[in-house]
Structure 1
Amino acid sequence: MRYTLGKQERLKSQKIIEKLYLEGKSIKVFPLRMVYLQTSHTSVFPAQVGFSVPKRNFKRAVDRNRIKRLLRESYRKEKYIIYDNIDKPYVFMISYLAKEESEYVDVKSAMSKLLLTFMTKIKKDEYSC
């Protein structure tokens, strides 16, 4: 598996994003929140992901963009957790909840915990059905 985050892996479809927020389920690992939904999408990859940082908490676009860059990089490094274990297509939106910027190390550890929590929840949901 290549550790890249290309255009096909990014969530861009407005229709899918609206459906995600209406029907999706949520997981929180401070300072991150993931809204996920098992649905088909146009990508050949098993997951499409989007990142958001609220303007309410970070007024300057420079700060929001830096945090989104940290989120993308930490996801790119940790996405093997998901790619090795899912067989159905998923879409995610990962949001940053904290009111101040975090270091990359903190974001990366929170991202790995979030993805592991997601995997355990998915496995539990599969067995309960």
Structure 2
Amino acid sequence: MKLNGYHKKEKLKSRTQLEAIFATGKSFSVFPVKIFFLETDTSETAYIKAGVGVSARHFKKAVHRNRIKRLLREAYRLEKQTLLHQLEKHGKKIAIFLLYIDKEMPDYIVLREKMKDGFEKLQSRLAIQE
């Protein structure tokens, strides 16, 4: 299986897991993305389960929300490698939710840079950096 993909087993779809992330998980912001995360049990198949979201309040048209979600997923897919390697090394599994919180359409390059910064911050929060 390719490491650079965003496969079905990596997608966060469980309603109970989503509710747990928002109820008991932790969060931080790397503007324009807010990252919610929760360490999960080791019975999960993937080291990272990820989901993305955009507020319908700020983006009324579905086409705009879908575009932002595509950009978030692509930035996640390309920047997850270092986080994934650290999680595998330490034997931890997490569920994360990436929420776009800005009111303007994002620029992909900025979004990808912020995703990288967010994952570095997440590694320090999980205490898995070397």
Same fold (TM over 0.5): yes
TM-score (norm 1): 0.91
| Aligned structure 1 segments of 4 or more residues deviating by more than 3 angstroms | none
Unaligned runs of 5+ in 2: none
**Corresponding position: 1:123 with 2:127:** yes
Unaligned runs of 5+ in 1: none
* Structure 1 residues 42 and 57: CA distance shift in structure 2, 3 A: farther
Instruction: Give the SS at the match of 1:106.
Output: helix
* Cα contact 1:8–1:43 (8 A) shared by 2: no
State the Cα deviation string for residues 62-86 of structure 1 (Å, max 9, x = none).
Answer: 0000000000000000011210101
Partner Cα separation in structure 2 for residue 41 and residue 33 of structure 1: 25
**Corresponding position: 1:73 with 2:77:** no
Report percent identity of matched pairs.
33
State the Cα deviation string for residues 13-60 of structure 1 (Å, max 9, x = none).
Answer: 001111111000001100000110001276422010000000001000
Query: Which residue does 2:63 correspond to in 1?
Result: 62
TM-score (norm 2): 0.91
* Cα contact 1:70–1:104 (8 A) shared by 2: yes
Query: Which residue does 1:20 correspond to in 2?
Result: 21
How many positions carry a matched residue from both structures? 125
* Structure 1 residues 97 and 64: CA distance shift in structure 2, 3 A: same
